[in-house]
Structure 1
Amino acid sequence: MSPRQVVEEWVRRFNAADAEALAALYHADAVNHQVTQAPVAGREAIREMFAREFASADMRCIVEAIHDCGEVAALEWRDPLGLRGCGFFTIRDGRIAFQRGYWDKLSFLKLHSLPLD
């Protein structure tokens, strides 16, 4: 799959809240760094992160744009509650090697009525 196709599939699996299928898109030693929290390293740790997050909030990703160049794809997104953000995916051999996401954690917590940490 091309970087764009990987990100499109990532969105599909994210919106299905399927942590197992989502984690399968990552390399075994991938890193997911949402800048509001510490980086998560390894496919299994990434799977666990998504499982925890899907259990705590009803999250959906509405694609605003996907830009790709070489092995990198950028995803501009919003959710149904109005939160906006972007993610950058480095794709190697059809799998995510590195992901970095930018979004406002305080707004997310408030929109989902979650405790402020």
Structure 2
Amino acid sequence: MKPRDLIKEWVKTFNAASADAMAEFYHDDAINHQVNQDPTIGKKAIRQKFEEEFATADMVCIIENIFEDNEWAILEWKDPLGLRGCGFFHIVEGKIKFQRGYWDMLSFLRQHNLPIPQK
């Protein structure tokens, strides 16, 4: 499966909010680094992170663009509340080896009426 097609399936699965199904997109030693958080390392930890996030907020990913370059896919996305972001995915042998995401956590927390961490 081409990286572009894998990311389209990833988005469908994300929108179904299944942590178990999401984990299957990742290598056992994958890294998911959302830049406003510490990296999540390993398929089990990534699955747990998705489970926590799906329990915290109803999230919807709407594809704006997907770009592909060899083993890489770049996803530009938005959600129905107006948040926008971008994700970079390194796809190796049909699974995500590395993911990096850029989005505004403060806007996300406010949109979902979640507590804002105090420093």
Match of 1:92 in 2: 92
1:5, distance to aligned residue in structure 2 (A): 1.1
Match of 1:47 in 2: 47
Structure 1, gaps ≥5 residues long? none
How many aligned positions are there? Answer: 117
For normalisation by structure 1, the TM-score amounts to 0.99
- Same amino acid, percent of matched pairs: 61
Aligned structure 1 segments of 4 or more residues deviating by more than 6 angstroms = none
Kindly report which structure 2 residues correspond to 1:1-117, keeping only aligned pairs within 5 A, or say none.
1-117=1-117
Structure 2, gaps ≥5 residues long? none
1:6, distance to aligned residue in structure 2 (A): 1.0
1:39-92 deviations in whole A, cap 9, x for unaligned? 000000000000000000000000000000100000000001000000000000
CA RMSD of aligned residues (A): 0.4
SS at structure 2 position matched to 1:91: strand
For normalisation by structure 2, the TM-score amounts to 0.97
